[in-house]
Amino acid sequence: MTDEESHVIKSFPFKGKKEYAKILTNSSVEAVTVANNHSMDRYQKGMDDTKATLDEYGVGYFGYSKSYIKEVKGIKFGFLGYAFPNSVSDNMKNAITELKKKTDFVIVYYHWGIERNYSPTQGQRDLAHATIDAGANMVVGSHPHVLEGIETYKDSPIVYSLSNFCFGGNRNPSDKDSMIYQQTFHFTNKKISSMEHKIIPCMISSVKYRNNYQPIIATGQDAERILKKVNTIQ
């Protein structure tokens, strides 16, 4: 979110108006990641403006070297975000370790994978497992623009791709399937004791012949197809 006009040379250099942050607050979005392949499209000025705007509107953010902590009912959740790492570096391991000291549950959000690929790459799976081995409690991913499967590794959930949702980057994407992923956590003495998740199948548009930027809950055969995608790792 910036007024910066200059941009890196690429096919799709994105930017949005600063007042678009109202969309986040009006939609109960409490935190976002700034670690992705478009966060530096408008150079450092664009990134700095985005962070300042999020601060102004009271939206938390995390990514790269910045973590975010959200307390819910006395439980502290810590968030870290990275874009396209090849492995869990020593710096990432240290960040997870330090955040675990301050929180009760650590979620690592990756911008990763291959666009329009319906299954996670072996690199994604290896990275997710290594992240949990390093101490994270949950891994969430995005970037492919389509749904990928979910997995449980050492009792820790991995959501490989959330797909698009309220997505303005394409007027008519061929795949409009999406979901709302809801994770419920149960703690005993501030230690995670159990978890369960719920998948709400969605479409990014309320019409199928174009993208009208109005996500809806999917029903019938659409819902069955989406749930099959999410519950299957190829």
pLDDT tens digits in sequence order for the chain, 234 residues long: 999 999 999 999 999 999 999 999 999 999 999 999 999 999 999 999 999 999 999 999 999 999 999 999 999 999 999 999 999 999 999 999 999 999 999 999 999 999 999 999 999 999 999 999 999 999 999 999 999 999 999 999 999 999 999 998 899 999 999 999 999 999 999 999 999 999 999 999 999 999 999 999 999 999 999 999 999 876
The ranges assigned to domains in the chain are 1-62, 64-230
Q: pLDDT value at position 222? A: 98
* The CATH number fitting domain 64-230, selected from 1.10.287.110, 2.10.210.10, 3.60.21.10, 3.40.50.10490: 3.60.21.10
Distance from C-alpha of 233 to C-alpha of 113, rounded to nearest angstrom: 14
DSSP string, 92-154: HHHHHHHHHHH-SEEEEEEE-S-TT-SS--HHHHHHHHHHHHTT-SEEEEE-SSSB--EEEET
207: helix, strand or coil: coil
User: What value, to the nearest 5°, has the Cα angle with vertex 33 and ends 61 and 153?
Assistant: 120
Instruction: Report the alpha-carbon distance of residue 11 to residue 227 in Å, rounded.
Output: 33
pLDDT at 234: 60
Spatial contact of 201 and 179, defined as CB atoms under 8 Å apart: yes
Paired residues of 31 in beta bridges: 60
Structure pTM?
Answer: 0.95
